[in-house]
């Protein structure tokens, strides 16, 4: 990101200490003084993201990318904000642009895998996760994404194997525990263990069941 005339360290500090509204006011003033300050737009986008105002965050990243096209940081963070807003197709487009800029970016491949899985583009998602794992073998996030893709495909044994591998590296990840629990129950492979997985996941994150219900998986 190339800097404009941004002089907003105070805004960054306030955001970091949780004073997000005051940080937003500082970024508003900075952008009012220099609308072409790309860094200020990114900073304000992050503050909006912290407030879970993902639509406003996207608007700021849009502005930053008009000023500095193809900035990798803005593309990655806008992709995340698009995903949080439920705009999975736009998130996937952002990650496609990132991959075009940096084909070795394993995180971008993983993120596009996840969004394509949520869109139901399952074979494309699987190819993306395979590439992410080729670039970063044993990454727990990519293993989780591929496991979820296998879960959507109904390939439960492969889903369980990938969830096992992800949990070996990150044993307290609620999504991996819950996904493995669903796969175990759907396949009747160790249903008692599946119920234990679901309970452990909900103890770590009470919202995980509602999240998976949105993805089409209920207990």
- pLDDT attached to residue 7: 37
In a domain? residue 91? yes
Q: Same domain, yes or no, for 42 and 80?
A: no
Q: Three-state DSSP class for 29? A: helix
- pLDDT attached to residue 1: 33
In a domain? residue 207? yes
In a domain? residue 133? no
pTM score:
0.86
Q: Same domain, yes or no, for 25 and 58?
A: yes
Give the residue ranges of DSSP H helices in the chain. 9-16, 20-33, 38-50, 54-67, 72-84, 88-101, 106-119, 122-135, 140-153, 156-169, 174-187, 191-204, 208-214
Domain of residue 44 covers 1-68
pLDDT in tens, 156-189: 999 999 999 999 999 999 999 999 999 999 999 8
Tokens for 58? 């996207």
Q: Same domain, yes or no, for 155 and 216?
A: yes
What's the domain count of the chain? 3
- pLDDT attached to residue 68: 95
- pLDDT attached to residue 5: 33
In a domain? residue 24? yes
- pLDDT attached to residue 20: 83
Q: Same domain, yes or no, for 215 and 157?
A: yes
Residue 8: DSSP 8-state: -
Q: Same domain, yes or no, for 143 and 111?
A: no
Q: Same domain, yes or no, for 57 and 10?
A: yes
pLDDT average per 10 residues of sequence, the chain (219 residues): 37 61 87 90 92 94 95 96 96 98 98 98 98 97 98 98 98 98 96 97 98 93
In a domain? residue 116? yes
Q: Same domain, yes or no, for 33 and 17?
A: yes
Q: How far apart are CA 13 and CA 77, in angstroms?
A: 19
- pLDDT attached to residue 21: 84
Q: Same domain, yes or no, for 40 and 105?
A: no
- pLDDT attached to residue 17: 57
Q: What is the CATH number of the domain that holds 35?
A: 1.25.40.10
- pLDDT attached to residue 14: 54
Q: Same domain, yes or no, for 93 and 49?
A: no
CA distances from 185 to 34, 134, 144, 194 (A): 56, 30, 18, 6
Q: Same domain, yes or no, for 121 and 143?
A: no
Q: Same domain, yes or no, for 146 and 218?
A: yes
């Amino acid at each position: 990101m190339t800097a404009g005339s941004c002089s907003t360290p105070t805004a960054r500090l306030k955001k970091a200490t949780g004073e997000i509204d005051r940080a937003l006011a500082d970024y508003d003033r900075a952008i009012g003084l220099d609308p072409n300050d790309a860094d200020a737009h990114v900073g304000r986008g992050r503050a909006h993201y912290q407030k879970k105002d993902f639509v406003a965050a996207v608007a700021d990243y849009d502005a930053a990318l008009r000023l500095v096209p193809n900035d990798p940081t803005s593309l990655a963070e806008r992709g995340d904000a698009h995903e949080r807003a439920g705009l999975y197709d736009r998130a996937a487009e952002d990650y496609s642009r990132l991959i075009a800029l940096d084909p070795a970016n394993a995180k971008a491949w993983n993120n596009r895998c996840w969004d394509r899985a949520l869109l139901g583009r399952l074979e494309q998602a699987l190819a993306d996760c395979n590439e992410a794992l080729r670039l970063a073998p044993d990454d727990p996030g990519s293993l989780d994404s591929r496991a979820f893709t296998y879960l959507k495909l109904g390939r439960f044994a492969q889903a369980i194997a990938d969830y096992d591998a992800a949990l070996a590296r990150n044993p307290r990840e609620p999504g991996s525990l819950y996904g493995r629990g669903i796969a175990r129950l759907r396949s009747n492979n160790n249903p008692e263990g599946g119920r234990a997985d679901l309970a452990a996941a909900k103890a770590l994150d009470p919202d995980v069941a509602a999240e998976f219900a949105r993805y089409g998986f209920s207990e």
